[in-house]
């Protein structure tokens, strides 16, 4: 079972993602901001991290850059979730190190499929 970290400041969206992923067999931890995401990722091993772009304390871009700069979390794939879909936003997310950029609103089943696609493309992780 893959371990997923969700960082999303909107309670309703975070709960929807958490319920969806748990239903599909993922082990999920969720936090409400980028700073908490970086702390959680450094304290635990995750197979994948979902980051909202706009969050308090630290944006998703900043959190992703910190995660990719840290040898412990560098290889963990990141997917951005955002309501902002301008090309410069998407490019900034991919430059920060994300594997995918998913626009809100999204269909829960398509989100699950994207997670499976990214996880299948990664070397075997030893998350505990």
The predicted structure's pLDDT at residue 87: 81
Structural Rg of the chain based on CA atoms = 13
Please identify, in words, the CATH class of the domain defined by 3-120. Answer: alpha beta
For the chain, give the longest Cα–Cα distance. 36
The predicted structure's pLDDT at residue 122: 85
pLDDT digits (tens, 9 = 90+) for 68-124: 999 999 999 999 998 876 788 888 888 888 999 998 888 999 999 999 999 999 876
Tell me how far the alpha carbon of residue 17 is from its chain's centroid: 11
pTM over 0.85? The answer is yes
The predicted structure's pLDDT at residue 19: 96
Question: Where do the structural domains in the chain lie, given as residue ranges?
Answer: 3-120
Q: pLDDT tier at 67 (50, 70, 90 boundaries)?
A: very high
């Amino acid at each position: 079972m893959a371990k997923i970290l969700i960082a999303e400041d909107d309670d309703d969206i975070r709960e929807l993602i958490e319920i969806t992923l748990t239903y599909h067999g993922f082990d999920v931890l969720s936090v409400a901001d980028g700073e908490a995401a970086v702390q959680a990722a450094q304290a635990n091993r995750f197979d994948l991290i979902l980051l909202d772009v706009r969050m308090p304390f630290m944006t998703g871009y900043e959190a992703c850059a910190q995660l990719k700069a840290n040898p412990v979390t560098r290889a963990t794939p990141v997917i951005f979730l955002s309501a902002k879909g301008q090309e410069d936003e998407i490019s900034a997310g991919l430059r920060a190190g994300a594997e995918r950029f998913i626009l809100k609103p999204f269909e829960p089943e398509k989100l699950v499929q994207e997670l499976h696609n990214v996880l299948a493309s990664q070397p075997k992780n030893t998350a505990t």
